[in-house]
Chains A and B, each alone.
Chain A
């Protein structure tokens, strides 16, 4: 029980960090987005750009996390009764919400950024 509580708390904290960092990344790219729109990029082009780079970061992070989790699970199997070290549900329970949150964190600023005032975006430092 203590282990699952710790796991839950960590997952929540990491989700929050992911949400904040992905959102900040998209906002910092406002000027770049403004330039790309001036050069002819459409909303779909911007979405693919920001979500694509966000997905890559998320994918690498989850891959590392799953690898570390595999070894960590071997140490904590005694805490979770009846859970195998490679239980797919336990692996998914942590990574799926984080992945979904990071995509949401990327999408919301992109949705706003693609509609920004371009002249303001180009003056943004």
Chain B
């Protein structure tokens, strides 16, 4: 298991129906090493986002084995999984999901406020993130005052501000123009080169090619790697 950040063994998720079960994921086996950049592709309904929420430990209704840094997630209770997710995972969404009533700086501070950082420490971390992403001038603006690309940039900064080992990105460029999408993908490539493991879901072949590995899902099965 050395070097493995994630190991999935026979992961399955289903919903009960009158006639039986509807499987969203079927016998998913996957290894992700630290520093990998993985793309998950597939048609709508293939189970991509479901796999992402399981990887992020925000969905507990599944069967199989899931190891994160050798820790058996499948044996943890809800609170333990939540704590593990907080320490290790950052999320980026297609719709950015910034909080409209908070400024850029406050949006970056929010995940830190849920992680027992001291207030003075948080200010320093937020300042570093604003500087790293070159958005210091925008720190007092609200999300509705930013372009789509800028909002996603802030969302990516928010995802990494607590220095997670793993970034999960669900269609991060889905709402962006191609030039803005390229900026975000270049940023992901840079973060990955600095050691962050990234798993993204995308329909776009161009953005998928930024990854070092591509897996394809169909009807809940991994069909191609």
Q: Is the interface of A mostly helix, strand, loop or mixed?
A: helix
- Chain A positions 17 through 50: 1 when the CB is less than 8 Å from some CB of chain B, otherwise 0: 0000000000000011001111111100100000
Q: Which of A31, A37, A39, A119 contacts B49 (CB 8 A)?
A: A119
Q: Does B158 contact A (CB under 8 A)?
A: yes
Q: Quick check: is B33 within 8 A (CB to CB) of the other chain?
A: no
Contact B97 A122 (CB under 8 A): yes
- Please tell me if the beta carbons of B111 and A40 are within 8 angstroms of each other in the complex: yes
Could you mark each residue 135-165 of chain B with 1 if its beta carbon is under 8 Å from any beta carbon of chain A, else 0?
A: 0000000000000000000000010001000
Q: Are B58 and A38 in contact (CB under 8 A)?
A: yes
Chain B 99-117, CB within 8 Å of chain A: the 1/0 string? 1000000000011001100
Check B53–A122 contact: CB distance below 8 A.
Answer: no
Judge whether B115 and A40 touch: CB under 8 Å: yes
> Which 5 interchain pairs have the tightest Cβ spacing?
A40-B114, A40-B86, A39-B111, A35-B97, A41-B114
State the A residues within 8 Å of B (CB): 31-32, 35-42, 45, 118-119, 122
A-B pairs with beta carbons under 8 Å apart, 8 shown? A35-B99, A37-B58, A39-B91, A39-B110, A40-B85, A40-B114, A118-B53, A119-B49
**CA–CA, A37 and B115, complex, Å:** 12
Decide if B82 is an interface residue (CB 8 Å cutoff).
yes
Interface set, chain B 80-135, CB cutoff 8 A to A: 82, 85-86, 91, 93, 95, 97, 99, 110-111, 114-115
* Given the contacts A35-B99, A122-B93, A122-B95, A45 and B114 also touching, CB distance less than 8 Å: yes
Q: Given the known A-B contacts A45-B114, A118-B53, are A38 and B91 also in contact in the complex, defined by CB atoms under 8 Å?
A: yes
